[in-house]
Structure 1
Amino acid sequence: MTVNAIPPIGFGFWKVAREDAAQTAYEAIKAGYRHLDCACDYGNEAEIGQGVVRAIADGIVTREDLWITSKLWNTFHAPQHVELGIRKSLQDLGLDYLDLYLIHFPIALEFVPIETRYPPEWVHDPAADNPRMHRAKVPLHETWAAMEALADKGLCRHIGVCNYNSALVHDLMSYARIAPHTLQIEAHPYLIQDKLVRLAHDYAIHVTAFSPLGALSYVELDMAGSGDSVLTETVVQTAAQAHGKSPAQVVLRWGVQRGTSIIPKTSKPERMRENLDIMDFELTGGEMEAISALDAGRRFNDPGVFAQAAFNTFHPIYD
């Protein structure tokens, strides 16, 4: 069956080690995932492609069964470089087209040739005495027009954006010839982004939540502490006991039930299956409200914080 809509539960490949990515992709598909969320910046698309080819060769899926997303990196924002970005991802993934191609961040950086360094990452010259991000003067509307050209050429079936705020969504909708299919944002019970999700839905834009379990993706990067886990919250634990599910399943169900798709990540096949097993129960209205009430505006993935710390550049995109 051809996947015509983005599946509610996908598999995220951020921070999946390159040496593990091929097997992880294969195991994820084998476990039942049909949406694979990839990106140039993750540095593992060639290996993911190997896993996809193997799964297709083994008859587990066909290409049409899969929804594969990738993202335009910051250094490819200039119109003359946008197609270069997608063609490199397609080459690495071994695909003729993407189901969805997203602008990864509303951040334009100076171009880095693929031959010089790939993925280009954040700093312009890692060997410099003071490595920094080098901003490029590329308006987002120019990047979007080039994204539309990709869709016109059939290189991707849908286009969208990541990490946009409400003002940028309003602005995008004022000039888009092809409306964005998806807005991908950080969203979990500590950062529910209710107004932004509501706005996207009002514009008929699908919302995908990355880091749907919150801090778990960031502890190993020292961007969160072990005490930041939403899974230990009483309301989550109580709901888990009531439904005979794990706390993680309750949080993931909350994400799907509020109308977003989610892209959890794990390296363990048993956890892959557990994360998928959330469609056979429904949280009550009271449970949904109680989990949403955990909102603390706690953003873990914030360029206004990590760019200064890691790349010697203060570059906030959220107020």
Structure 2
Amino acid sequence: MTLTRITSPHAKGSNRTQRVMLLVLAACAPGALALTWLFGIGTLVNLLWASLVALGVEAAILKIRQRPLGFYLSDGSALVTAVLLALALPPYAPWWLTLVAVGFAIVFGKQLYGGLGQNPFNPAMLGYVVVLISFPVEMTSWPKPHGVGLLEGLQQIFGLAQLPDGWSQATALDSLKINKSLTMDELWAANPAFGKVGGAAVEWVNAAFLLGGLFLLHKRLISWHAPVGMLAALTVMSLLFWHGSGSDSNGSPLFHLFTGATMLGAFFIVTDPVSGATSNLGRLIFGAGVGILVYIIRTWGGYPDGVAFAVLLMNLAAPTIDHYSRPRAYGHSKPERGFRMGE
């Protein structure tokens, strides 16, 4: 009888790349629904347009590289990049801004390094930072909750007409950074959309992404180390530099946890298995570094939210973190002090 020769490993697990990506997309659904409910059709247009751009650009690059399209496009990684980026962009961002962000993420954040599994930076955050630096006005135009209709939103996205003045507003992070003399009570009173935690609209969005993150933890698609490291570090930093509810407060721990892109970053960005650290200790350190940098950028930096910059900076540090946090191989122990090779 002839035995079929198959290379190892012979055991197969259920967590194939395609299944993992589909579950990540499912975990994004609560956040996407919360954004759509609050800001309208713009979020859904972002998601659809970003997905089409990601698949089209990836197909073009794969064709240039002479790689099989069906095999690589079906893994779902391009869709995950597109969805995460679309959820981070303002809901009524111009169509060309989404095109630039997603195209740069796929080409320079992923395919330039050889594709999935070889990128040193998080592609979605790379695309986000490029358009944030290049087009700051469009990237800071967040609409008022329930303030834009369907037709007006579509006209804004495709450049057919401009929305009237007053359709957008500063976020809670923007307001706190621009006017440090505001007390937290004055900040909340100045805009009814700002809630008692981090901004009434953004509080629900962050809670929805937290729900999706708990789903990923339940499915064991991510470990708890990086999210806990980030959220714990952000909490400690905000406790250390919080001056109470008076002026120059820098925001309370709850304010920082439930505003901006905190929960999206904690459960969907810092948990990237490719551009982050690999060991459990390394993931804790990586997440903590992101949390510290997010607070520093929000409080003393030039941008109101710092999740994307913090993640990219820690991507640079990931190889060093892995080097010093890698578990010792079984059977190897640390040499005694004074022992030298050859003795």
The verdict on a shared fold, with TM-score over 0.5 as the criterion, is: no
Provide the TM-score with structure 1 as the length reference: 0.29
Give 1 or 2: higher strand fraction: 1
